[in-house]
Amino acid sequence: MRLKLQCQSKTRQSNYTVQCRGRGIACKNGNVRCKNHAGRSTGPRTTEGKLRSLANLLKYNEQRIKTNSRD
Ligand SMILES: [Zn+2]
């Protein structure tokens, strides 16, 4: 019998208490995720894409800090 990987995510419908029963895919960072929980995603590949994603991350963090300090 072959070893089956199970997705490690918790389902949103169960309010994060029930584990997803999907067939898992081992990710680069060591997590096991099914195709519905970003298991197929490999992230940005080209230099342009990596820079764009980094810019988006920085933008998001700035926005987050601004909204938090307002409260
Ligand atoms: Zn899953």
**pLDDT tens across 4-54, in order?**
899 999 999 989 999 999 999 998 888 999 999 988 888 889 999 999 999
- State which residues have CB under 5 angstroms from ligand 1, the bound ion: 7, 9, 20, 22, 34, 37
Under the banding of pLDDT at 50, 70 and 90, the label for residue 71 is low
Q: Where are the domains of the chain?
A: 1-40, 41-71
Q: Please classify residue 33 by burial: count the beta carbons closer than 10 Å to its beta carbon, then call 0-12 exposed, 13-18 middle and 19+ buried.
A: buried
- Both structure tokens of 42: 């490999």
3-class secondary-structure state, position 23: strand
pTM: 0.56
In the reported structure, the alpha carbon of residue 36 is separated from the centroid of ligand 1 by a whole-number distance in angstroms of: 5
- Neighbouring C-beta atoms of residue 52, cutoff 10 Å: 12
In the reported structure, the alpha carbon of residue 8 is separated from the centroid of ligand 1 by a whole-number distance in angstroms of: 7
Asked whether 12 and 18 are in contact (CB, 8 A), the reply is no
